[in-house]
């Protein structure tokens, strides 16, 4: 998996990265513009714009609507964020990670790929305040969180979990 390096914090680095505008917007709405969290390094897992744009229009509309609420946006981002920087070497097969909202995510390695639940990690961006992993789809655990938040109808979750989308 390629690792890019940025001399910026997560959000500014994401804003400059092709295919991460949807995740960047969610982070801005959550009030994380200009910094992630003071005094630490974090790991953020985000689906690419390509993956999110391949979802249903109903899901995209529900996400836009829900993410306009700062409290919901922060909860959403916390479901993608781990309270320490986890490097690619530390993403070992079977490792369990826990997001800031307590959700468990399982790492697996197979055929040269690193996966988070059922999503493949396409690349990493190392920043001043941590690392951002770009995924080919929404992992099943995060999809479940989105469903509970009213962002993803169950039929959409089933569709997403059976398809993977690569960056262009």
Domains, the chain, in order of start with CATH, read 3-161 (2.30.180.10)
Looking at every residue in the chain, the average pLDDT score rounds to: 84
Query: Which segment of 19-33, 70-84, 92-106, 122-136 scores lowest on mean pLDDT?
Result: 19-33
At residue 92 the predicted structure's pLDDT band, cuts being 50, 70 and 90, is very high
Q: Residue 97 pLDDT > 50, yes or no?
A: yes
Query: Does residue 126 surpass a pLDDT of 50?
Result: yes
**What confidence score (pLDDT) does residue 37 get?**
56
What's the pLDDT score for residue 154?
60
Q: How confident is the model at residue 122 (pLDDT cuts 50, 70, 90)?
A: very high
Q: Indicate whether this model's pTM tops 0.95.
A: no
Task: Return d(Cα 130, Cα 134) in angstroms, integer.
Answer: 13
The dihedral region occupied by 6, where left means phi > 0, alpha psi between -120 and 50, and beta the remainder, is beta
Dump pLDDT digits (tens) for 21-46. Answer: 888 888 887 776 654 555 678 999 99
pLDDT at 74: 83
Q: Give the helix ranges, DSSP H, for the chain.
A: 10-15, 21-29, 49-53, 57-67, 70-78, 140-148, 154-161
Backbone angles phi, psi at 82, to 5 degrees: -110, 140
């Amino acid at each position: 998996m390629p690792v890019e390096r940025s001399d910026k914090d997560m959000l500014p680095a994401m804003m400059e990265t092709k295919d991460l505008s949807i995740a960047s917007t969610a982070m801005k709405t959550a009030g994380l513009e200009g910094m992630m969290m003071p005094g630490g390094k974090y790991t953020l897992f985000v689906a690419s714009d390509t993956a999110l744009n391949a979802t249903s229009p109903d899901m995209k509309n529900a996400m836009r609507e829900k993410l306009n609420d700062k409290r919901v946006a922060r909860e959403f981002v916390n479901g993608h964020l781990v309270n320490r920087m986890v490097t690619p070497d530390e993403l070992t097969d079977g490792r369990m990670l826990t997001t800031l909202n307590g959700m468990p995510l399982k790492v697996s390695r197979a055929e040269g790929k690193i996966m988070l639940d059922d999503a493949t990690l396409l690349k990493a961006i190392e920043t001043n305040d941590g690392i951002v992993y770009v995924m080919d789809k929404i992992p099943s655990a995060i999809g479940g969180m989105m469903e509970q938040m009213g962002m993803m109808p169950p039929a959409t979750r089933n569709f997403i979990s059976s398809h993977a989308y690569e960056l262009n």
